[in-house]
Chains A and B, each alone.
Chain A
Amino acid sequence: GAVVSQHPSWVICKSGTSVKIECRSLDFQATTMFWYRQFPKKSLMLMATSNEGSKATYEQGVEKDKFLINHASLTLSTLTVTSAHPEDSSFYICSARRTEISYEQYFGPGTRLTVT
Chain B
Amino acid sequence: KNQVEQSPQSLIILEGKNCTLQCNYTVSPFSNLRWYKQDTGRGPVSLTIMTFSENTKSNGRYTATLDADTKQSSLHITASQLSDSASYICVVSGGGATNKLIFGTGTLLAVQP
Contact = CB atoms under 8 A, between A and B. Distances in A.
- The contact size tier of chain B is 20 to 34
A74 B99 CA distance: 18
A26 interface: no
Contacts of A104: 46, 49
B45 interface: yes
Contacts of A102: 99
A43 B104 contact: yes
Interface in A10-43: 34, 41-43
A13 B75 CA distance: 39
Contact of A97 (B42, B99, B108): B99
A6 B101 CA distance: 20
Main secondary structure of the interface of A (DSSP, over half): strand
Interface stretch (A63-71, A75-83, A106-114): A106-114
- The contact size tier of chain A is 20 to 34
A104 B31 CA distance: 11
B105 interface: yes
A44 B103 contact: yes
A6 B42 CA distance: 11
A51 to B, nearest CB: 10
Contacts of A108: 43
B15 to A, nearest CB: 24
Contacts of A91: 41
Interface of A: 4, 6, 34, 41-46, 49, 57, 91, 93, 95, 97, 102-110, 112
Interface of B: 31-32, 36, 41-46, 49, 89, 93, 95, 98-101, 103-106, 108
